[in-house]
Amino acid sequence: MSDPVAALRAGEPVILPTDTVYGLCADAANAAAVERMYALKGRGAAQPTALLAADVDALLALVPELPEPLVRRLLPGAYTLILPNPARRYPWLTGANPDAIGVRVVSLPAEADRAVAAVGCVAATSANSPGGPDPRRIEDVPPQLRSGAGAIVDAGELPGIASTVVDFTGAEPRVLREGAGPVDVALSAAGA
């Protein structure tokens, strides 16, 4: 397959390994690229997608309004944090709620890390059919996603458990999906 950096810069969706599962990714700063990623997956535009940054400093530079202490306590890690987005940044990622944004920072395999760092951030969703099983191997990624991707980075078998998703936009944090990150750690970080 082609180079993932070149594919991302060309606005093509790519399949990258994360710390949890394989993700379908696109250059998050390119709304048209994100639309192509959504179309490939068959995902509705009202559904939000996480912003995945190369490191915490890069994430905070992209969305400086994020609550830095909370972000630094939980990221990098196996969490997707839903946080207030008062400047309504990346509206093509926020789905029906532009006042909130999902963010991730993870330890990536080297080639995936290079690709994300080269474009600054990617929109990332699991590389599966909507509602399908989380892909732990490239072979688990549906054929239509593999054939529609501009590049695929194969890092072998991954843990196969998606990130824990915690919404910090309300008065109390809400766990939207239990996954690879310990729930008690996320909930205690909110009060720290």
Which domains, ranges and CATH numbers included, belong to the chain? 4-191 (3.90.870.10)
Predicted confidence at residue 102, as pLDDT, reads 98
Contacts of 106-110 with C-beta under 8 Å, sequence gap 24+, read 106/18, 106/19, 106/20, 106/52, 106/75, 106/76, 106/77, 106/78, 106/163, 107/19, 107/76, 108/16, 108/17, 108/18, 108/19, 108/54, 109/17, 109/153, 109/155
Within 10 angstroms of residue 96's Cβ, the number of other Cβ atoms is: 10
Q: What is the pLDDT of residues 93-147, one digit of tens each?
A: 999 999 999 999 998 999 999 999 999 999 999 999 988 999 999 999 999 999 9
Predicted confidence at residue 131, as pLDDT, reads 85
Give CA–CA dist 169/159, Å, rounded: 28
Residue 176's H or E segment, with its range, is strand 174-177
CA distances from 7 to 11, 30, 78, 159 (A): 6, 12, 26, 26
Predicted confidence at residue 192, as pLDDT, reads 55
DSSP alpha helix (H) spans, 1-137: 4-9, 31-41, 56-62, 68-74, 110-119
Q: Is the dihedral of CA 15, 18, 20, 25 positive or negative?
A: negative
Terminal CA-CA length for the chain: 45
Predicted confidence at residue 184, as pLDDT, reads 94
Residues of the chain with pLDDT under 70: 1, 192
